[in-house]
Structure 1
Amino acid sequence: MTQQQEKLSAFMDGEIEGNDIIDAIKHDEALQAKWQRYHVIRGAMRKEANVAPQLDITASVAAALADEPAIVAPKPSRWRSIPALGSVIPFAKQSGQFAVAASVALAVIIGVQQFNQPVPTEPFETFSTARPQGGLAPVSLEQTRALPRNDMNEVLETKRKINALIADHEQQIRLKQDEEASSESNTDKEASQRPE
């Protein structure tokens, strides 16, 4: 900080009094700018609304524009230079755009058709069974078919065989458990009879 700026800061803080700093501010533009900035900072710190900074950014914007590079026009497409391909490439682009548009239109049409279907009054659709074709009777849950006597005997015989297999299996499990228990007790007796 220069000596003039230190005096300016001290004058604003009320530490010094003097007309020499006021004369210096009147004649020096840099000190005037500092004086203004210091007052804006003090007003912002005190939350005083009457002090507003005056910004002049025209010079900085003009300098930035002067440094900006010039915009160059884009190069012509190299496909345009080939006579056969020059007309095919734009056609392919258009075809792709038409395909996308057609797909979107189809999706919208199908969506609208699905959305506008009437709400069914029954939980599921039923079809008319007024005329059975081929001489067949319509299917119904209420109709039951009685098994012939031969089939009933076969079912009972199959159930008997299954029950016999289950009983045999349970008996074999019991025998195996008994054998294991007796072999364990024999090994325990032999171990207790051995002299140590």
Structure 2
Amino acid sequence: MTQQQEKLSAFMDGEIEGNDIIDAIKHDEALQAKWKRYHVYRGAMRKEATVAPQLDITASVAAALENEPAIVAPKASRWRSIPVLGSVVPFAKQSGQFAVAASVAVAVILGVQQFNQPAPTEPFMTAPTAGPQGGLAPVSLEQTRAIPRNDMNEVLEKKRKINALIADHEQQIKLKQAQESSDVEDENESLPRPE
């Protein structure tokens, strides 16, 4: 710290009195800037809101930006150049994949539910209403008829069909991914190479 700055600090703290430091502050811009900063620091330590710091960092930010190297962005996809299609096409691809997966899941669930349904052998019957007047009939959760399982060949055949659908779906996804990766490689090969 220079002698002038030490005198300024002592003057701010009330340790010295003198007109020579006031004259030095009037004529020296660096001391004027220090004077302002010291008042801001003192106001902040005393939690006084009367002194607001005025910081101007635009020149230093502009200089830092000029020294910053330029970053070149990769080539945009051809779909991205069309404003509406740029965001719709990737969304449609993902939505299509989810739709196929959801339809396979629904088919499996419905198939399993159909296999577990008993064959209707008799029409619906109503419970007999004979009994004591105003009394309650006992309730049971037991199943009174057995589910016939003599159609095992049909069940196995339906399971084979479902498994074949699932395998076909997985194969189509793998082919689509391979096709997309080859399209990306073709686009990368068509880009000019930096020398």
Q: Shorter-chain TM-score: which interval?
A: 0.3 to 0.5
TM-score by length of 1: 0.45
Judging by fraction of residues, say which structure has more helix: 1
- Asked which structure has the greater RCO (Cα within 8 Å, sep 6+), the reply is 2
TM-score by length of 2: 0.45
Larger radius of gyration: 1
